[in-house]
């Protein structure tokens, strides 16, 4: 049971477009903002939709948390059309986030994001630096105008599949090695991460029901067989522990690997 779990109404305070069709929404949720750690998520409830929608916490500062999303379905369309003052029901923070410092020998971190996989990275950059790590952020997208315009790292590398900006190729190909690799993006990209760095920490995206460990809807297939829950044991996993070939993606649009 999450002792720090909160259920609060959270008003929208601001929204900004950070790539073509990619929006960052800010909500007033001071208690959630105070406790959210990188890689954790919130489950947002909207009037008129039965199930909540899970989103990584993108930033948490002062009174506000931020999430990043694209309008891919009716729920996310509603979210991007919200106006300041409109309220969501915020359940969180949920799940287990990234690990930054179990081992004192870590000196360098690579944050690896594909498309909307930027979602946990600003908080990851914050927490990695707080743990004394040198941070390199490698961000990839299909094309230049789909690259997130916000980045945060001691070193930033951009990559595009079509070569319209930065490194021509995938973010995985563009990334240097480091003591700790944190990755988020489409499953195809995370599978490539797992091949290159089985020890990498990968934040997965799954279909999700309750977000609190009860419904077993967010089953993540494990390489050793069986399933566990993205919302509770995850959403951050050792990349080599996931059976990437059978983890479905609900991203209905292509994102750079």
Partner 1 sequence: MTLDMSVRLGGLSLRGPVLAASGTFGYGTEVPLLERRALGGMVSKGIFLKPRQGTPPPRIAETPSGMLNAIGLQGPGADALVRDYAPQWAKWDFPVLVNINGESAAEYGELTARLDGVPGVAGFEINISCPNVEQGGMYFGNDPRAAAAVTEAVRKRTRLPVWVKLTPMVSDIGVIARAVEAAGADALSAVNTFVGMSIDLNAYRPRLSFRTGGLSGPAIRPLAVHLAHQAARAVDIPVVGVGGIMTAEDALEFLVAGCSAVQVGTATFVNPNAIAEVHDGIAAFMAAKGFASLADLPRYLPRD
> Where along the sequence are the contacts to partner 1 (CB under 8 A)?
1-2, 5, 7, 45, 49-52, 91, 206-210, 212-221, 225-227, 232, 246-248, 250, 252
Burial class from Cβ neighbours inside 10 Å (0-12, 13-18, 19+) for residue 105 reads exposed
Least CB distance from residue 69 to partner 1, whole Å? Answer: 16
Beta strand extents in the chain (DSSP E only): 6-19, 22-28, 41-45, 53-56, 59-61, 64-70, 87-94, 108-114, 134-141, 155-160, 167-168, 180-184, 201-203, 219-221, 227-229, 236-238
Phi, psi of 151 (to 5 degrees): -145, 160
For the chain, the maximum distance between any two Cα atoms, rounded to a whole number of angstroms, is 49
Q: Are 88 and 10 in contact (CB under 8 A)?
A: yes
CB of 55 to partner 1, least distance (A): 16
Measured from the CB of residue 5, what is the shortest distance to partner 1 in angstroms?
5
- CA angle 216/117/119 to nearest 5° reads 85
* Nearest distance from C-beta of residue 225 to partner 1, angstroms: 7
Question: Least distance to partner 1 from the beta carbon of 226, Å?
Answer: 5
């Amino acid at each position: 049971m999450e002792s720090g779990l909160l259920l609060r109404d959270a008003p929208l305070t601001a929204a900004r477009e950070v790539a073509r069709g990619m929006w960052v929404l800010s909500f007033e949720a001071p208690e959630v903002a105070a406790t959210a750690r990188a890689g954790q998520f919130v489950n947002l409830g909207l009037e008129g939709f039965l199930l909540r929608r899970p989103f990584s916490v993108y930033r948490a500062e002062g009174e506000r948390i931020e999430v990043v999303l694209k309008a891919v379905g009716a729920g996310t369309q509603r979210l991007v059309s919200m106006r300041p003052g409109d309220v969501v029901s915020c359940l969180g923070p949920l799940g287990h986030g990234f690990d930054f410092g179990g081992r004192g020998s870590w000196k360098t971190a690579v944050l690896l994001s594909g498309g909307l996989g930027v979602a946990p990275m600003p908080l990851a950059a914050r927490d990695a630096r707080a743990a004394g790590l040198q941070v390199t952020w490698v961000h990839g997208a299909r094309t230049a105008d789909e690259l997130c315009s916000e980045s945060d790292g001691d070193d930033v590398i951009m990559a595009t599949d079509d070569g319209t900006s930065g490194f021509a190729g995938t973010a995985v190909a563009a990334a240097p090695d480091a003591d700790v690799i944190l990755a988020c993006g489409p499953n195809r990209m995370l599978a490539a991460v797992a091949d290159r760095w089985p020890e990498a920490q990968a934040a997965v995206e799954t279909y999700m029901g309750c977000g609190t460990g009860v419904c077993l809807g967010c089953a993540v297939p494990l390489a050793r067989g069986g399933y566990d829950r993205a919302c509770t044991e995850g959403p951050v996993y050792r990349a080599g522990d996931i059976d990437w070939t059978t983890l479905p993606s609900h991203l209905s649009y292509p994102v750079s690997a």
